Amino acid sequence: KAFSWRTNLVFSLNRNKIKSLFGDYEEVEIDGQIVRREVPDYSNKWFPGKPLDVVWDYDIQGIWQVEEEEAAKVYRLVPGDFKARDIDGNGRYEALHDKTFIGYLQPRYRWGLRNDFTFLKNFTASFFLRADLGHIADMPQALHSWSTYDRNSTSNVPYWTADNRTNEWPRLTQDNAPFGGGIMLYKPRSFVRIQDVSLAYQVQGGVLQYLRLNDVSIFASIRNLHSFDKWPGWDPESTHTPMPRTYTFGLNVTLK
């Protein structure tokens, strides 16, 4: 009788699609078949039939390792450089033939879960979980043009060496020239965040009459307690800037 629990769940998603652009059509070969399609706007990365936030870029498969030196030479690259999928298999990275759709910039799904508790008559507590799921974001800090000598100035971004190998991050002076149309590294931006946690105590009994008070409550709360994610930067929501954690303690007093 001294316990209650209330839960609220909110779920949302947003979908959009470009139906048509400028009305210009072309015939291209896709999977061995000639297909007639509307010409995309490559400069703005707008594609008929695709969402506005679709990411069109090279599908990076990892990093060329020392044992793959000869294979990397085919693409004029060396161990420590990005290894991308060669879609048409012609030994070159060409923007119009080898770039593909690798994800979305905006969350595909969002949800929020709030729980409120009352217990021992005088205590109330709540916690709020929030999630943005299914999207990616660019990580320019991994490119040598961002900072050749130090990638750790704004986020924890390591780099490949022959003695300290990784399949996630390239060498400090990796070569981007063989990638037609430029290249960008993208990382998962999905997260589940413990957004708010709070606890309050309502003072009751004769002490209120003795102090001639109508109401007294003591409370404490934490905002942005923790984020579960795989984003290598500061925070998956703010991307490359820190997200503060806030602690609040308070006392509410109402006089008679």
Mean pLDDT for 63-92 is 94
User: What is the chain's percent helix, strand, coil content, to nearest 5?
Assistant: 10, 45, 50
Tell me the residue length of the chain: 256
- Residues 47, 51, 53, 57: what is their CA dihedral angle, to the nearest 10 degrees? -40
CA–CA separation, 20 and 48 (whole Å): 5
Euclidean distance between the first and the last CA atom of the chain, given in angstroms as a whole number: 30
CA–CA separation, 128 and 212 (whole Å): 35
Structure tokens at 196: 């708010």
**pLDDT confidence bin for 149, thresholds 50/70/90:** very low
Task: Specify which of 94-98, 149-153, 224-228, 240-244 reaches the highest per-range mean pLDDT.
Answer: 224-228
pLDDT at 246 over 80: yes
Classify 69 as helix, strand or coil.
helix
Q: What burial class does residue 9 get, using C-beta atoms within 10 Å of its C-beta: 0-12 exposed, 13-18 middle, 19+ buried?
A: exposed
pLDDT at 77 over 80: yes
**Per-residue model confidence as pLDDT tens digits over 155-194:** 567 788 999 898 988 988 888 889 998 899 999 999 999 9
Count how many Cα atoms sit within 13 Å of the Cα of residue 123 in the half-sphere of its side chain.
11
List, as own/partner pairs, every contact residues 211-215 make where C-beta atoms lie below 8 angstroms and the sequence separation is at least 24, other chains included: 212/255, 212/256, 213/253, 213/254, 213/255, 213/256, 214/254, 214/255, 214/256, 215/252, 215/253, 215/254
CA–CA separation, 90 and 76 (whole Å): 13
Find out whether 28 and 17 touch, Cβ atoms under 8 Å.
no
